[in-house]
């Protein structure tokens, strides 16, 4: 995974996020982080099932779309950790945090990522850890786990793109 690939993925994810933000506004702001983690879990299990079968039955939503959904749900979690929605919040503020989180990911990324054995199962382990500890995880640890999951998801998406 290189920064050009991360930038390409970021643009695609950001375009979809911005489009949905325009249409649905902050429809997710009242949803608990644990519910967003459940959404991420369901999407990752869908990816795993498609990969195990080698094909997908629902042709309308490609596996790449599902990866993008996972990425955007992780970013939503990070946004919720960084914004107080009790105050007036603009779309541009949310988009700034969206971009900051991707920039933070690029800063954290190093060659070690490519050498790690990242798999969909590893990503599921991280999600299940969050689900088990959801009320006991401190803000900073949750943010770090989300950034790790974001890194893993982007790596797996790029790997999937190169494979197909």
Convert the pLDDT of each residue in 20-71 to its tens digit.
Answer: 999 999 999 989 999 999 999 999 999 999 888 877 776 677 899 999 999 9
What pLDDT score was predicted for residue 3? 47
Residue 34 in contact with residue 134, Cβ under 8 Å? yes
Residue 110 in contact with residue 136, Cβ under 8 Å? no
Rounded to 10 degrees, what is the CA torsion of 115, 116, 121, 123?
-110
21: which 2 tokens? Answer: 């933000």
Q: Which tens digit of pLDDT belongs to each residue from 111-150?
A: 455 556 789 999 999 999 998 886 677 888 899 999 999 9
Q: Could you tell me which residue, 147 or 105, shows the higher pLDDT?
A: 147
Query: Comparing C-alpha atoms, which of 95, 109, 104 is closest to residue 3?
Result: 109
Determine the average pLDDT of the residues in 83-101: 91
Cite the DSSP H helix spans in the chain: 3-24, 33-53, 63-82, 91-108, 112-115, 120-133, 139-163
The pTM assigned to this predicted structure is: 0.88
């Amino acid at each position: 995974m290189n920064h050009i690939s991360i930038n390409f993925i970021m643009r695609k994810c950001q375009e979809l996020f911005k489009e949905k933000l325009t249409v649905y506004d902050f429809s997710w702001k009242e949803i608990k982080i644990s519910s967003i983690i459940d959404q991420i879990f369901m999407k990752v299990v869908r990816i795993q099932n498609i990969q195990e079968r080698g094909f997908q039955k629902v042709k309308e939503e490609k596996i790449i779309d599902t990866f993008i959904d996972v990425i955007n749900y992780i970013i939503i979690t990070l946004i919720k950790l960084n914004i107080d929605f009790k105050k007036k919040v603009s779309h541009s503020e949310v988009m700034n945090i969206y971009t900051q989180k991707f920039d933070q990911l690029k800063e954290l990324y190093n060659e070690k990522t490519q050498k790690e054995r990242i798999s969909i199962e590893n990503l599921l382990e991280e999600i299940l850890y969050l689900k088990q500890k959801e009320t006991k995880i401190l803000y900073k640890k949750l943010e770090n786990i989300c950034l790790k999951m974001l890194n893993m998801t982007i790596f797996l998406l790029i790997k999937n793109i190169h494979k197909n």
